[in-house]
Amino acid sequence: AFAIDVAGELRARSARITLWSAFMMVCIIVMGTSADIFRNNCTGKNPDQNLNYCERSKLAISIGTIGTVFALVTISMKTLKSDIPFLVEFVSSIGLFIVFAFGVAFITSEYGPGAPLGNLYYSCWTAFILSFLIVSSCVEDYQSTRTT
């Protein structure tokens, strides 16, 4: 009856929308897992962990929240056909890549909340890799438009 291809429309609108969606999902996991770790280990009268561990847990919550908000705004702008300027997407993806590079270093190091293998460890690394893929896709698009 109706030939509506929603998935095709979204893919045609942006090649990176799937990367941004996966990035948002992983950032939600980072945010939720680190909030749970913080609540279990760093709150109350006698926190179980030292101050450094708790500060890194707060960093993980912040990074997860920042990544989620940026991804949600980008996905919303791409989905609602209000074309997001390429420079805004490119600069924000570079910023997120830098933030997650530091995040992986602090969160998954020996004294961080993501040190043991688990959801936080894998989701931090996945978010870092996805942010790299988003930046590399932006660079590819920039180079392809520059040569034509």
| Contact indicator for 4, 47 with CB cutoff of 8 Å | no
The arithmetic mean of pLDDT across residues 9-35, rounded, is 87
pLDDT computed for residue 9 by the predictor: 61
Residue 145, pLDDT > 90, answer no
The arithmetic mean of pLDDT across residues 13-39, rounded, is 93
Give me the percent of the chain exceeding a pLDDT of 70.
90
The arithmetic mean of pLDDT across residues 77-104, rounded, is 90
* Six token digits for residue 127: 């978010």
* Six token digits for residue 88: 């805004």
Top pLDDT among 144 and 61 is at 61
- Cα separation, 11 vs 136, in Å, equals 18
Q: Considering the chain, what is the average pLDDT of its residues?
A: 90
Residue 21, pLDDT > 80, answer yes
pLDDT computed for residue 147 by the predictor: 80
Residue 80, pLDDT > 90, answer no
The arithmetic mean of pLDDT across residues 44-51, rounded, is 77
What predicted TM-score, i.e. pTM, was given to this entire model? Answer: 0.87
Residue 1, pLDDT > 90, answer no
8: alpha, beta or left? (left if phi > 0; alpha if psi -120 to 50):
alpha
